[in-house]
Structure 1
Amino acid sequence: MADASSQIASTVPTRRPGRLREFWTYFKENRGAVMGLYVFIAFVFVALFADLIAPYDPSTQFRSAILQPPVWQDGGTWGFPLGTDALGRDMLSRLIHGARFSFFVGIVVVVVAATGGIFLGLVAGFAPKWLDTLIMRLMDIVLAFPSLLLALVLVAVLGPSLLNAMIAIALVLQPHYVRLTRASVLNERTKDYVIASRVAGAGPLRQMFLTVLPNCLAPIIVQAALSFSTAILDAAALGFLGMGAQPPTPEWGTMLADAREFVLRAWWVVTFPGLAILVTVLAINLMGDGLRDALDPKLKRS
Protein backbone atom coordinates (compact mmCIF):
# COMPACT_ATOMS: atom_id res chain seq x y z
CA MET A 1 0.00 0.00 0.00
CA ALA A 2 2.83 2.33 0.91
CA ASP A 3 4.64 1.48 -2.32
CA ALA A 4 1.52 2.24 -4.39
CA SER A 5 0.97 5.60 -2.67
CA SER A 6 4.63 6.54 -3.16
CA GLN A 7 4.41 5.67 -6.86
CA ILE A 8 1.28 7.81 -7.25
CA ALA A 9 2.95 10.71 -5.46
CA SER A 10 5.98 10.45 -7.70
CA THR A 11 3.84 10.59 -10.84
CA VAL A 12 1.89 13.69 -9.74
CA PRO A 13 3.50 16.71 -11.46
CA THR A 14 4.89 19.36 -9.15
CA ARG A 15 3.30 22.77 -9.43
CA ARG A 16 5.51 25.24 -11.25
CA PRO A 17 6.03 28.60 -9.60
CA GLY A 18 4.25 31.61 -11.08
CA ARG A 19 5.97 33.54 -13.84
CA LEU A 20 6.49 36.60 -11.65
CA ARG A 21 8.03 34.53 -8.87
CA GLU A 22 10.21 32.66 -11.35
CA PHE A 23 11.33 35.97 -12.88
CA TRP A 24 12.23 37.39 -9.46
CA THR A 25 14.14 34.21 -8.57
CA TYR A 26 16.48 34.68 -11.52
CA PHE A 27 16.54 38.48 -11.32
CA LYS A 28 17.65 38.65 -7.67
CA GLU A 29 20.67 36.44 -8.39
CA ASN A 30 22.24 39.53 -9.97
CA ARG A 31 22.91 41.74 -6.95
CA GLY A 32 23.91 44.68 -9.10
CA ALA A 33 20.54 44.50 -10.87
CA VAL A 34 18.69 44.46 -7.55
CA MET A 35 20.63 47.52 -6.38
CA GLY A 36 19.87 49.22 -9.68
CA LEU A 37 16.18 48.40 -9.27
CA TYR A 38 16.10 49.93 -5.78
CA VAL A 39 17.83 53.09 -7.00
CA PHE A 40 15.45 53.27 -9.98
CA ILE A 41 12.43 52.95 -7.68
CA ALA A 42 13.84 55.70 -5.46
CA PHE A 43 14.25 58.03 -8.44
CA VAL A 44 10.73 57.23 -9.66
CA PHE A 45 9.38 58.06 -6.18
CA VAL A 46 11.29 61.35 -6.19
CA ALA A 47 9.99 62.19 -9.67
CA LEU A 48 6.36 61.44 -8.77
CA PHE A 49 6.37 63.40 -5.51
CA ALA A 50 8.79 66.17 -6.47
CA ASP A 51 6.33 68.90 -5.46
CA LEU A 52 6.10 67.48 -1.94
CA ILE A 53 9.75 66.54 -1.47
CA ALA A 54 11.47 69.65 -2.87
CA PRO A 55 12.03 72.30 -0.17
CA TYR A 56 11.61 75.21 -2.60
CA ASP A 57 10.12 75.98 -5.98
CA PRO A 58 12.79 75.20 -8.60
CA SER A 59 12.45 78.66 -10.19
CA THR A 60 12.51 80.71 -6.99
CA GLN A 61 15.56 82.99 -6.81
CA PHE A 62 17.23 83.93 -3.53
CA ARG A 63 19.27 86.99 -4.46
CA SER A 64 21.02 87.04 -1.08
CA ALA A 65 22.34 83.46 -1.56
CA ILE A 66 23.87 83.43 -5.04
CA LEU A 67 26.38 80.58 -5.55
CA GLN A 68 26.13 79.62 -1.91
CA PRO A 69 28.00 76.36 -1.14
CA PRO A 70 26.30 73.43 0.64
CA VAL A 71 27.11 74.34 4.24
CA TRP A 72 25.30 74.22 7.59
CA GLN A 73 23.20 77.26 8.43
CA ASP A 74 22.72 78.99 11.77
CA GLY A 75 20.99 76.78 14.30
CA GLY A 76 22.26 73.57 12.71
CA THR A 77 19.59 73.45 9.98
CA TRP A 78 19.96 73.10 6.25
CA GLY A 79 19.07 76.25 4.35
CA PHE A 80 20.27 75.01 0.95
CA PRO A 81 21.51 71.41 1.37
CA LEU A 82 23.25 71.28 -2.03
CA GLY A 83 23.94 74.99 -2.39
CA THR A 84 22.53 77.43 -4.93
CA ASP A 85 23.28 78.27 -8.56
CA ALA A 86 24.30 81.52 -10.22
CA LEU A 87 20.75 82.90 -9.91
CA GLY A 88 20.29 81.89 -6.29
CA ARG A 89 18.04 78.90 -7.02
CA ASP A 90 18.14 75.89 -4.70
CA MET A 91 20.14 73.07 -6.32
CA LEU A 92 18.35 70.30 -4.42
CA SER A 93 14.92 71.47 -5.55
CA ARG A 94 16.06 71.75 -9.15
CA LEU A 95 17.64 68.28 -9.08
CA ILE A 96 14.45 66.76 -7.64
CA HIS A 97 12.27 68.35 -10.31
CA GLY A 98 14.89 67.46 -12.92
CA ALA A 99 14.28 63.78 -12.14
CA ARG A 100 10.68 64.28 -13.26
CA PHE A 101 11.74 65.71 -16.62
CA SER A 102 14.38 63.01 -17.18
CA PHE A 103 12.00 60.15 -16.48
CA PHE A 104 9.29 61.77 -18.58
CA VAL A 105 11.77 61.92 -21.47
CA GLY A 106 12.72 58.27 -20.96
CA ILE A 107 9.12 57.04 -20.89
CA VAL A 108 8.00 59.02 -23.95
CA VAL A 109 11.06 58.08 -26.01
CA VAL A 110 10.81 54.37 -25.18
CA VAL A 111 7.06 54.23 -25.90
CA VAL A 112 7.37 56.05 -29.24
CA ALA A 113 10.51 54.23 -30.39
CA ALA A 114 9.28 50.79 -29.29
CA THR A 115 5.80 51.21 -30.81
CA GLY A 116 7.09 52.24 -34.22
CA GLY A 117 10.04 49.87 -34.16
CA ILE A 118 8.01 46.81 -33.17
CA PHE A 119 5.42 47.52 -35.86
CA LEU A 120 8.04 47.95 -38.59
CA GLY A 121 9.93 44.89 -37.36
CA LEU A 122 6.79 42.74 -37.52
CA VAL A 123 6.01 44.03 -41.00
CA ALA A 124 9.57 43.35 -42.16
CA GLY A 125 9.48 39.85 -40.71
CA PHE A 126 6.24 38.91 -42.48
CA ALA A 127 6.53 41.07 -45.62
CA PRO A 128 7.70 40.01 -49.08
CA LYS A 129 11.41 40.12 -49.77
CA TRP A 130 11.39 43.51 -51.51
CA LEU A 131 9.55 45.28 -48.69
CA ASP A 132 11.72 43.63 -46.05
CA THR A 133 14.84 44.78 -47.91
CA LEU A 134 13.50 48.33 -48.27
CA ILE A 135 12.69 48.67 -44.56
CA MET A 136 16.00 47.24 -43.39
CA ARG A 137 18.08 49.37 -45.77
CA LEU A 138 16.35 52.49 -44.46
CA MET A 139 17.16 51.39 -40.91
CA ASP A 140 20.77 50.75 -41.91
CA ILE A 141 21.01 54.29 -43.27
CA VAL A 142 19.79 55.70 -39.96
CA LEU A 143 22.22 53.51 -38.01
CA ALA A 144 25.11 54.65 -40.22
CA PHE A 145 25.01 58.10 -38.58
CA PRO A 146 26.27 58.72 -35.02
CA SER A 147 23.14 58.71 -32.88
CA LEU A 148 23.79 61.96 -31.00
CA LEU A 149 24.84 63.78 -34.18
CA LEU A 150 21.70 62.65 -36.01
CA ALA A 151 19.52 63.69 -33.05
CA LEU A 152 21.27 67.06 -33.02
CA VAL A 153 20.57 67.58 -36.72
CA LEU A 154 16.90 66.64 -36.30
CA VAL A 155 16.49 69.04 -33.37
CA ALA A 156 18.19 71.78 -35.37
CA VAL A 157 15.64 71.23 -38.15
CA LEU A 158 12.62 70.98 -35.83
CA GLY A 159 13.74 73.70 -33.41
CA PRO A 160 15.30 73.48 -29.93
CA SER A 161 12.79 72.28 -27.34
CA LEU A 162 12.28 69.34 -25.01
CA LEU A 163 9.45 67.94 -27.19
CA ASN A 164 11.52 68.05 -30.36
CA ALA A 165 14.46 66.49 -28.52
CA MET A 166 12.25 63.56 -27.47
CA ILE A 167 11.01 63.09 -31.05
CA ALA A 168 14.57 63.15 -32.41
CA ILE A 169 15.87 60.66 -29.85
CA ALA A 170 12.92 58.32 -30.47
CA LEU A 171 13.59 58.35 -34.22
CA VAL A 172 17.27 57.62 -33.64
CA LEU A 173 16.56 54.69 -31.30
CA GLN A 174 13.79 53.17 -33.43
CA PRO A 175 16.05 51.14 -35.81
CA HIS A 176 17.33 49.07 -32.87
CA TYR A 177 13.78 47.87 -32.17
CA VAL A 178 13.16 47.18 -35.86
CA ARG A 179 16.24 44.98 -36.19
CA LEU A 180 15.62 43.18 -32.91
CA THR A 181 11.94 42.53 -33.62
CA ARG A 182 12.60 41.35 -37.17
CA ALA A 183 15.30 38.91 -36.02
CA SER A 184 12.98 37.50 -33.34
CA VAL A 185 10.11 37.17 -35.84
CA LEU A 186 12.24 35.32 -38.38
CA ASN A 187 13.36 32.96 -35.64
CA GLU A 188 9.78 32.28 -34.49
CA ARG A 189 8.09 31.98 -37.90
CA THR A 190 9.52 28.54 -38.60
CA LYS A 191 8.38 27.01 -35.31
CA ASP A 192 5.55 24.49 -35.08
CA TYR A 193 3.08 26.65 -33.19
CA VAL A 194 3.20 29.36 -35.87
CA ILE A 195 2.73 26.81 -38.65
CA ALA A 196 -0.16 25.26 -36.71
CA SER A 197 -1.86 28.65 -36.32
CA ARG A 198 -1.49 29.26 -40.06
CA VAL A 199 -2.99 25.86 -40.86
CA ALA A 200 -5.84 26.62 -38.44
CA GLY A 201 -6.73 29.66 -40.52
CA ALA A 202 -5.12 32.53 -38.58
CA GLY A 203 -4.67 35.62 -40.71
CA PRO A 204 -1.43 37.62 -41.01
CA LEU A 205 -2.43 40.23 -38.43
CA ARG A 206 -3.44 37.58 -35.89
CA GLN A 207 -0.16 35.74 -36.42
CA MET A 208 1.84 38.94 -36.11
CA PHE A 209 0.30 40.45 -32.98
CA LEU A 210 -1.24 37.50 -31.11
CA THR A 211 0.86 34.49 -32.06
CA VAL A 212 4.43 35.67 -32.70
CA LEU A 213 4.78 39.01 -30.89
CA PRO A 214 4.18 37.69 -27.32
CA ASN A 215 7.09 35.28 -27.81
CA CYS A 216 9.39 38.08 -28.96
CA LEU A 217 8.88 40.38 -25.99
CA ALA A 218 11.77 39.22 -23.77
CA PRO A 219 14.62 40.82 -25.78
CA ILE A 220 12.43 43.84 -26.53
CA ILE A 221 11.89 44.48 -22.80
CA VAL A 222 15.64 44.37 -22.22
CA GLN A 223 16.19 46.76 -25.13
CA ALA A 224 13.55 49.10 -23.69
CA ALA A 225 15.36 49.25 -20.34
CA LEU A 226 18.66 50.07 -22.03
CA SER A 227 16.97 52.61 -24.33
CA PHE A 228 15.52 54.33 -21.27
CA SER A 229 19.00 55.15 -19.98
CA THR A 230 20.17 56.14 -23.47
CA ALA A 231 17.23 58.53 -23.80
CA ILE A 232 18.05 60.21 -20.49
CA LEU A 233 21.71 60.53 -21.48
CA ASP A 234 20.96 61.89 -24.97
CA ALA A 235 18.38 64.34 -23.62
CA ALA A 236 20.95 65.62 -21.12
CA ALA A 237 23.52 65.94 -23.91
CA LEU A 238 21.10 67.90 -26.11
CA GLY A 239 20.17 70.09 -23.15
CA PHE A 240 23.87 70.73 -22.46
CA LEU A 241 24.32 71.80 -26.10
CA GLY A 242 21.34 74.14 -25.85
CA MET A 243 19.16 72.07 -28.21
CA GLY A 244 16.97 70.32 -25.66
CA ALA A 245 15.05 71.74 -22.71
CA GLN A 246 15.40 75.49 -22.50
CA PRO A 247 16.06 77.59 -19.36
CA PRO A 248 14.64 77.94 -16.77
CA THR A 249 13.49 74.29 -17.09
CA PRO A 250 15.23 72.30 -14.30
CA GLU A 251 16.55 69.58 -16.61
CA TRP A 252 19.88 68.01 -15.65
CA GLY A 253 21.63 68.67 -18.98
CA THR A 254 20.43 72.28 -19.03
CA MET A 255 21.66 72.72 -15.46
CA LEU A 256 25.11 71.53 -16.56
CA ALA A 257 25.07 73.97 -19.47
CA ASP A 258 24.19 76.88 -17.18
CA ALA A 259 27.02 75.93 -14.80
CA ARG A 260 29.86 75.67 -17.34
CA GLU A 261 31.39 79.05 -16.53
CA PHE A 262 31.34 78.35 -12.79
CA VAL A 263 33.25 75.06 -12.81
CA LEU A 264 36.25 76.50 -10.96
CA ARG A 265 34.34 78.89 -8.70
CA ALA A 266 31.41 76.70 -7.62
CA TRP A 267 32.05 72.96 -7.96
CA TRP A 268 28.61 71.98 -6.65
CA VAL A 269 26.64 73.46 -9.56
CA VAL A 270 28.38 71.01 -11.92
CA THR A 271 29.01 68.03 -9.66
CA PHE A 272 25.49 67.30 -8.45
CA PRO A 273 23.67 67.31 -11.84
CA GLY A 274 26.48 65.17 -13.27
CA LEU A 275 26.19 62.70 -10.40
CA ALA A 276 22.41 62.54 -10.85
CA ILE A 277 22.84 61.59 -14.52
CA LEU A 278 25.60 59.10 -13.70
CA VAL A 279 23.73 57.31 -10.91
CA THR A 280 20.45 57.14 -12.85
CA VAL A 281 21.98 55.79 -16.06
CA LEU A 282 24.16 53.31 -14.17
CA ALA A 283 21.18 52.03 -12.14
CA ILE A 284 19.05 51.52 -15.26
CA ASN A 285 21.87 49.73 -17.10
CA LEU A 286 22.43 47.39 -14.14
CA MET A 287 18.71 46.71 -14.03
CA GLY A 288 18.76 45.98 -17.78
CA ASP A 289 21.50 43.39 -17.25
CA GLY A 290 19.32 41.70 -14.63
CA LEU A 291 16.35 41.71 -16.97
CA ARG A 292 18.45 40.05 -19.65
CA ASP A 293 19.60 37.36 -17.23
CA ALA A 294 16.05 36.71 -16.01
CA LEU A 295 14.27 36.76 -19.38
CA ASP A 296 16.79 34.98 -21.60
CA PRO A 297 16.21 31.21 -21.22
CA LYS A 298 19.73 30.48 -22.45
CA LEU A 299 21.17 32.23 -19.40
CA LYS A 300 18.93 30.54 -16.86
CA ARG A 301 20.54 27.83 -14.84
CA SER A 302 18.70 24.54 -14.75
Structure 2
Amino acid sequence: MRFATARHDGTETSGVVDGETFHPLPAPILELLRSQRLPEAGAQAVTEPGVPLAEVELRAPLEPATVRDFVAFEEHVEGMTGGNVAAEWYAAPTFYFTNPYAITGPFDDVAIPPGCRRMDFELEVAAVIGRPGRDLTPEQAREHIIGYTIFNDWSARDLQSAEMKVGLGPAKGKDFATTLGPVLVTADELETHRDADGFLRLPMSVSVNGERIGHDLLSNMGWPFEELVSYASRGTEVRPGDVLGSGTCGNGGCLGELWGRPDREDPPPLRPGDVVEMTVEGIGTIRNRVTAGHDLPAVTPARTRPRDR
Protein backbone atom coordinates (compact mmCIF):
# COMPACT_ATOMS: atom_id res chain seq x y z
CA MET A 1 0.00 0.00 0.00
CA ARG A 2 1.17 3.56 -0.71
CA PHE A 3 0.25 6.20 1.86
CA ALA A 4 0.54 9.93 1.27
CA THR A 5 -0.50 13.30 2.60
CA ALA A 6 -1.88 15.85 0.17
CA ARG A 7 -3.45 19.27 -0.04
CA HIS A 8 -6.81 19.34 -1.81
CA ASP A 9 -9.27 22.24 -1.95
CA GLY A 10 -7.24 24.08 0.70
CA THR A 11 -7.25 21.18 3.16
CA GLU A 12 -4.41 18.84 4.04
CA THR A 13 -5.50 15.20 4.21
CA SER A 14 -3.75 11.86 4.48
CA GLY A 15 -4.76 9.09 2.14
CA VAL A 16 -3.93 6.03 0.07
CA VAL A 17 -2.52 6.36 -3.44
CA ASP A 18 -4.05 3.62 -5.56
CA GLY A 19 -3.01 3.99 -9.17
CA GLU A 20 -4.04 7.49 -10.20
CA THR A 21 -6.54 7.95 -7.36
CA PHE A 22 -6.08 9.45 -3.90
CA HIS A 23 -8.41 7.91 -1.28
CA PRO A 24 -8.67 10.01 1.91
CA LEU A 25 -8.01 8.47 5.32
CA PRO A 26 -10.04 9.36 8.43
CA ALA A 27 -7.01 10.84 10.26
CA PRO A 28 -3.38 11.87 9.68
CA ILE A 29 -0.89 9.05 9.08
CA LEU A 30 1.01 9.71 12.32
CA GLU A 31 -2.19 9.50 14.37
CA LEU A 32 -3.15 6.22 12.68
CA LEU A 33 0.34 4.81 13.25
CA ARG A 34 0.21 5.64 16.95
CA SER A 35 -3.18 3.99 17.33
CA GLN A 36 -2.05 0.96 15.26
CA ARG A 37 -4.93 1.53 12.81
CA LEU A 38 -3.09 2.50 9.62
CA PRO A 39 -3.30 -0.79 7.67
CA GLU A 40 -6.96 -1.25 8.58
CA ALA A 41 -7.82 2.35 7.72
CA GLY A 42 -5.97 2.05 4.41
CA ALA A 43 -7.81 -1.10 3.42
CA GLN A 44 -11.12 0.60 4.13
CA ALA A 45 -10.16 3.80 2.31
CA VAL A 46 -9.52 2.13 -1.05
CA THR A 47 -13.09 0.74 -1.05
CA GLU A 48 -14.49 4.28 -0.97
CA PRO A 49 -14.54 7.04 -3.61
CA GLY A 50 -11.38 9.07 -4.08
CA VAL A 51 -10.17 12.04 -6.08
CA PRO A 52 -7.83 12.07 -9.10
CA LEU A 53 -4.20 12.13 -7.98
CA ALA A 54 -3.54 14.90 -10.51
CA GLU A 55 -5.87 17.20 -8.55
CA VAL A 56 -3.97 17.03 -5.25
CA GLU A 57 -0.63 18.49 -4.16
CA LEU A 58 1.50 15.87 -2.43
CA ARG A 59 3.07 16.89 0.87
CA ALA A 60 5.51 15.03 3.11
CA PRO A 61 3.82 11.70 3.93
CA LEU A 62 3.88 12.33 7.67
CA GLU A 63 5.10 14.66 10.40
CA PRO A 64 7.84 12.54 12.01
CA ALA A 65 8.04 12.15 15.75
CA THR A 66 11.85 12.02 15.54
CA VAL A 67 14.34 11.89 12.68
CA ARG A 68 17.58 9.90 12.92
CA ASP A 69 19.99 9.88 10.02
CA PHE A 70 22.62 7.15 9.73
CA VAL A 71 25.76 6.98 7.60
CA ALA A 72 25.45 3.43 6.29
CA PHE A 73 27.22 3.60 2.90
CA GLU A 74 30.95 2.93 3.04
CA GLU A 75 31.54 4.40 -0.41
CA HIS A 76 29.98 7.70 0.67
CA VAL A 77 32.28 7.88 3.70
CA GLU A 78 35.26 7.18 1.45
CA GLY A 79 34.25 10.02 -0.84
CA MET A 80 33.79 12.49 2.00
CA THR A 81 37.08 11.61 3.73
CA GLY A 82 39.41 10.97 0.83
CA GLY A 83 39.25 7.22 1.44
CA ASN A 84 40.05 7.34 5.15
CA VAL A 85 37.18 5.40 6.72
CA ALA A 86 37.54 5.33 10.50
CA ALA A 87 37.62 1.90 12.16
CA GLU A 88 34.72 3.06 14.33
CA TRP A 89 32.49 3.28 11.25
CA TYR A 90 32.70 -0.51 10.85
CA ALA A 91 32.04 -1.15 14.54
CA ALA A 92 28.49 0.26 14.76
CA PRO A 93 26.01 2.21 12.61
CA THR A 94 26.45 5.88 13.61
CA PHE A 95 23.58 8.38 13.37
CA TYR A 96 22.61 11.90 14.39
CA PHE A 97 19.24 13.47 15.17
CA THR A 98 17.93 16.14 12.85
CA ASN A 99 15.06 18.62 13.04
CA PRO A 100 11.52 17.14 12.76
CA TYR A 101 10.12 20.67 12.33
CA ALA A 102 12.09 21.24 9.10
CA ILE A 103 10.37 18.56 6.99
CA THR A 104 9.55 19.66 3.45
CA GLY A 105 7.29 18.08 0.86
CA PRO A 106 8.40 16.12 -2.21
CA PHE A 107 7.81 19.05 -4.60
CA ASP A 108 8.37 22.03 -2.30
CA ASP A 109 10.86 24.79 -2.94
CA VAL A 110 13.82 24.65 -0.54
CA ALA A 111 15.55 27.87 0.48
CA ILE A 112 19.29 28.21 0.97
CA PRO A 113 19.80 28.70 4.74
CA PRO A 114 21.20 31.96 6.15
CA GLY A 115 24.95 32.32 5.69
CA CYS A 116 25.32 29.26 3.43
CA ARG A 117 27.52 29.39 0.33
CA ARG A 118 27.93 25.64 -0.29
CA MET A 119 24.50 23.99 -0.33
CA ASP A 120 24.25 20.29 -1.12
CA PHE A 121 21.71 17.48 -1.44
CA GLU A 122 21.97 13.92 -0.08
CA LEU A 123 20.18 10.97 -1.71
CA GLU A 124 18.82 8.54 0.88
CA VAL A 125 15.95 6.21 1.73
CA ALA A 126 14.28 6.22 5.15
CA ALA A 127 12.48 3.55 7.13
CA VAL A 128 9.42 4.58 9.15
CA ILE A 129 8.58 2.90 12.44
CA GLY A 130 5.07 1.52 12.79
CA ARG A 131 5.16 -0.14 16.22
CA PRO A 132 6.89 0.82 19.48
CA GLY A 133 9.80 -1.25 20.68
CA ARG A 134 12.89 -1.30 22.85
CA ASP A 135 16.12 -3.34 22.71
CA LEU A 136 14.94 -5.00 19.50
CA THR A 137 16.86 -7.73 17.75
CA PRO A 138 17.22 -7.23 13.97
CA GLU A 139 14.65 -10.00 13.45
CA GLN A 140 12.18 -8.23 15.73
CA ALA A 141 13.00 -4.86 14.17
CA ARG A 142 11.75 -5.98 10.75
CA GLU A 143 8.23 -6.26 12.18
CA HIS A 144 8.46 -2.68 13.49
CA ILE A 145 9.15 -1.08 10.08
CA ILE A 146 5.87 0.00 8.50
CA GLY A 147 7.45 1.21 5.27
CA TYR A 148 9.91 3.38 3.37
CA THR A 149 10.15 6.80 1.74
CA ILE A 150 12.75 8.89 -0.11
CA PHE A 151 14.84 11.11 2.18
CA ASN A 152 16.85 14.16 1.03
CA ASP A 153 19.15 15.30 3.83
CA TRP A 154 19.90 18.82 2.53
CA SER A 155 23.24 20.13 3.78
CA ALA A 156 24.96 23.50 4.18
CA ARG A 157 28.49 22.17 3.81
CA ASP A 158 30.33 25.33 4.86
CA LEU A 159 28.26 25.75 8.03
CA GLN A 160 28.51 22.03 8.79
CA SER A 161 32.29 21.96 8.38
CA ALA A 162 32.83 24.96 10.66
CA GLU A 163 30.56 23.87 13.49
CA MET A 164 31.80 20.26 13.60
CA LYS A 165 35.33 21.48 14.35
CA VAL A 166 33.97 22.22 17.82
CA GLY A 167 33.42 18.49 18.31
CA LEU A 168 29.63 18.63 18.23
CA GLY A 169 27.04 18.67 15.50
CA PRO A 170 26.00 18.86 12.78
CA ALA A 171 23.69 21.70 13.76
CA LYS A 172 22.79 24.60 11.44
CA GLY A 173 24.55 22.77 8.64
CA LYS A 174 21.65 20.32 8.60
CA ASP A 175 18.49 21.46 10.38
CA PHE A 176 17.02 23.81 7.77
CA ALA A 177 15.33 21.21 5.49
CA THR A 178 14.77 17.48 5.13
CA THR A 179 12.58 16.31 2.26
CA LEU A 180 10.41 13.19 2.54
CA GLY A 181 8.17 11.64 -0.11
CA PRO A 182 6.49 11.27 -2.41
CA VAL A 183 4.75 8.45 -0.55
CA LEU A 184 5.22 6.02 2.31
CA VAL A 185 5.43 2.58 0.67
CA THR A 186 4.59 -0.28 3.02
CA ALA A 187 7.38 -2.77 3.62
CA ASP A 188 5.50 -5.70 2.11
CA GLU A 189 5.42 -3.96 -1.31
CA LEU A 190 9.23 -3.94 -1.45
CA GLU A 191 9.86 -7.51 -0.29
CA THR A 192 10.30 -8.71 -3.87
CA HIS A 193 13.39 -6.45 -4.05
CA ARG A 194 15.10 -8.11 -1.06
CA ASP A 195 18.33 -9.88 -2.05
CA ALA A 196 19.88 -13.06 -0.63
CA ASP A 197 21.72 -11.05 2.06
CA GLY A 198 18.55 -9.36 3.29
CA PHE A 199 19.13 -5.96 1.67
CA LEU A 200 16.62 -4.06 -0.48
CA ARG A 201 18.07 -3.93 -4.00
CA LEU A 202 16.53 -0.65 -5.15
CA PRO A 203 18.21 1.47 -7.87
CA MET A 204 18.41 5.11 -6.80
CA SER A 205 19.56 8.20 -8.70
CA VAL A 206 19.82 11.98 -8.39
CA SER A 207 20.02 14.71 -11.02
CA VAL A 208 20.46 18.49 -10.99
CA ASN A 209 18.74 20.42 -13.77
CA GLY A 210 18.23 17.17 -15.68
CA GLU A 211 21.88 16.06 -15.51
CA ARG A 212 22.46 12.85 -13.55
CA ILE A 213 24.98 13.39 -10.78
CA GLY A 214 24.88 10.06 -8.95
CA HIS A 215 23.33 6.62 -8.85
CA ASP A 216 23.67 3.58 -6.61
CA LEU A 217 21.83 0.58 -5.20
CA LEU A 218 20.22 0.77 -1.77
CA SER A 219 21.56 -2.76 -1.21
CA ASN A 220 25.10 -1.31 -1.00
CA MET A 221 24.40 -0.26 2.60
CA GLY A 222 26.80 -1.64 5.21
CA TRP A 223 23.85 -2.75 7.36
CA PRO A 224 20.23 -3.49 6.39
CA PHE A 225 17.51 -1.31 7.90
CA GLU A 226 16.67 -3.97 10.46
CA GLU A 227 20.15 -3.54 11.95
CA LEU A 228 19.75 0.24 11.99
CA VAL A 229 16.42 0.03 13.81
CA SER A 230 17.83 -2.52 16.24
CA TYR A 231 20.77 -0.25 17.03
CA ALA A 232 18.53 2.80 17.42
CA SER A 233 16.43 0.89 19.98
CA ARG A 234 19.38 -0.15 22.18
CA GLY A 235 18.74 1.13 25.70
CA THR A 236 15.84 3.30 24.54
CA GLU A 237 12.62 3.26 22.52
CA VAL A 238 11.63 3.63 18.91
CA ARG A 239 8.04 4.74 18.46
CA PRO A 240 5.51 5.00 15.63
CA GLY A 241 6.36 7.83 13.30
CA ASP A 242 10.10 7.76 13.94
CA VAL A 243 12.04 8.19 10.69
CA LEU A 244 15.46 6.56 10.21
CA GLY A 245 17.52 7.63 7.18
CA SER A 246 19.95 5.27 5.49
CA GLY A 247 22.60 7.91 5.05
CA THR A 248 23.79 9.12 1.68
CA CYS A 249 24.41 6.52 -1.00
CA GLY A 250 27.75 6.29 -2.77
CA ASN A 251 28.76 7.08 -6.33
CA GLY A 252 27.71 10.72 -6.34
CA GLY A 253 24.86 10.58 -3.83
CA CYS A 254 25.83 14.13 -2.87
CA LEU A 255 28.05 16.89 -4.21
CA GLY A 256 30.28 16.86 -1.13
CA GLU A 257 31.36 13.32 -1.95
CA LEU A 258 32.63 14.54 -5.32
CA TRP A 259 34.24 17.61 -3.75
CA GLY A 260 36.12 15.25 -1.42
CA ARG A 261 38.51 14.63 -4.27
CA PRO A 262 41.59 16.90 -4.21
CA ASP A 263 41.19 20.44 -5.61
CA ARG A 264 37.69 19.83 -6.92
CA GLU A 265 34.37 21.59 -6.44
CA ASP A 266 32.66 20.40 -9.59
CA PRO A 267 29.70 20.18 -10.00
CA PRO A 268 29.30 23.51 -8.18
CA PRO A 269 27.26 24.04 -5.00
CA LEU A 270 23.53 24.38 -5.48
CA ARG A 271 22.29 27.82 -6.51
CA PRO A 272 18.84 29.47 -6.67
CA GLY A 273 16.89 28.02 -9.58
CA ASP A 274 18.57 24.61 -9.50
CA VAL A 275 16.14 21.68 -9.57
CA VAL A 276 17.15 18.53 -7.68
CA GLU A 277 15.35 15.33 -8.65
CA MET A 278 15.67 12.00 -6.85
CA THR A 279 14.20 8.67 -7.93
CA VAL A 280 14.16 5.37 -6.06
CA GLU A 281 12.68 2.33 -7.75
CA GLY A 282 9.56 1.09 -6.01
CA ILE A 283 9.04 4.38 -4.15
CA GLY A 284 8.90 7.16 -6.73
CA THR A 285 10.39 10.57 -7.48
CA ILE A 286 10.79 13.81 -5.54
CA ARG A 287 11.69 17.11 -7.18
CA ASN A 288 12.65 20.32 -5.38
CA ARG A 289 13.69 23.74 -6.65
CA VAL A 290 16.36 25.64 -4.72
CA THR A 291 15.46 29.25 -3.89
CA ALA A 292 17.34 32.18 -2.38
CA GLY A 293 17.16 32.35 1.39
CA HIS A 294 16.79 35.28 3.77
CA ASP A 295 19.74 37.47 4.67
CA LEU A 296 20.07 37.66 8.45
CA PRO A 297 22.49 39.60 10.64
CA ALA A 298 25.87 37.98 11.24
CA VAL A 299 26.13 35.73 14.29
CA THR A 300 27.65 37.46 17.31
CA PRO A 301 30.97 35.79 18.23
CA ALA A 302 31.63 34.66 21.77
CA ARG A 303 33.40 37.03 24.14
CA THR A 304 36.66 36.00 25.72
CA ARG A 305 35.42 35.03 29.15
CA PRO A 306 37.27 36.21 32.25
CA ARG A 307 38.81 33.41 34.29
CA ASP A 308 38.04 34.78 37.72
CA ARG A 309 37.10 32.15 40.28
Aligning the two structures, in what range does the TM-score lie when normalised by the shorter sequence? under 0.3
Structure number having the greater strand percentage = 2
Q: Which has the larger radius of gyration?
A: 1
Structure number having the greater helix percentage = 1
Q: TM-score, normalised by structure 1?
A: 0.26
